Amino acid sequence: MHKILIADDHPLFREAICNVIAAGFPGSELLETSDLDSALTIAREHDDLDLILLDLNMPGMNGLNGLISLRNESPSIPVVIVSAEEDKQVVLQAITYGAVGFITKSSPRAQMTEAIVQILAGDVYLPSDIIRSNRIITRRTPDEAPLSPELLYALTRKQLLVLERMAKGESNKQIAYHLDIAETTVKAHVSAILRKLSVSNRVQAILSAVDVDFSAYLRR
């Protein structure tokens, strides 16, 4: 059974999310709130929360500043942004500031359920259609510097394929299915990729690789 906080100022959307979780995760305990201050209070009082689903635009949020406040206050509780926002830059910034996922409010019920499954399993969830878009060039911090050709050529062909699908927001399970390999093999490849790219976690690898033209390296 999971304990999940839904923080959103739209009652109809909170009800919809509650229905999604009730159907996909029977027996879960759900808490609800409609502003950042009360979300911070609930997070302090319930440090056993498994997940916080956080609206980006509810009262008190001030954009991603609210996410930063919540992460600083309760760093051990995973936070997922749930928003109508579909700008690639905002999605990537949310992950950079500590969110473990970004779910768009336009997502179908099945996609929302799969996203929550993926996040509760410890993966990062990114909306693949937004991550694949080329509408903007992301501004990078030093920790998100573009990958050099030398680093990419150090990866095996299979590792490149895995990294390509990571950059699309796929979970280990999805990567295993698409590449027809075992999930344990995917995990081994991910560990090797992080080591070779000198990054400490999956998010850094994804942010570094979102604009890589993998076809150029896979043709070798």
Domain borders along the chain are: 3-131, 142-218
Q: Which pLDDT band, with edges at 50, 70 and 90, does 126 fall under? A: confident
Q: Is the pLDDT of residue 143 over 80?
A: no
Does residue 68 carry a pLDDT above 50? yes
Task: Compute the average pLDDT of residues 106-120.
Answer: 92
Q: Please write the tens of the pLDDT for every residue from 32-62.
A: 999 999 999 999 999 999 999 999 999 999 9
pLDDT band at 132 (very low <50, low <70, confident <90, very high): low
Q: How far apart are the first and last CA of the chain?
A: 48
Domain 3-131 belongs in CATH node 3.40.50.2300: yes
Residues 118-129 have a mean pLDDT of 82
CATH value of 142-218 in 1.20.1440.60, 3.40.50.2300, 3.40.640.10, 3.40.1170.60: 3.40.50.2300
Nearest to 97 by CA among 81, 118, 121, 119: 81
Give the pLDDT mean for 139-147.
51
Which helix (H) or strand (E) element contains residue 196? helix 183-197
Arithmetic mean of pLDDT, 125-154: 64
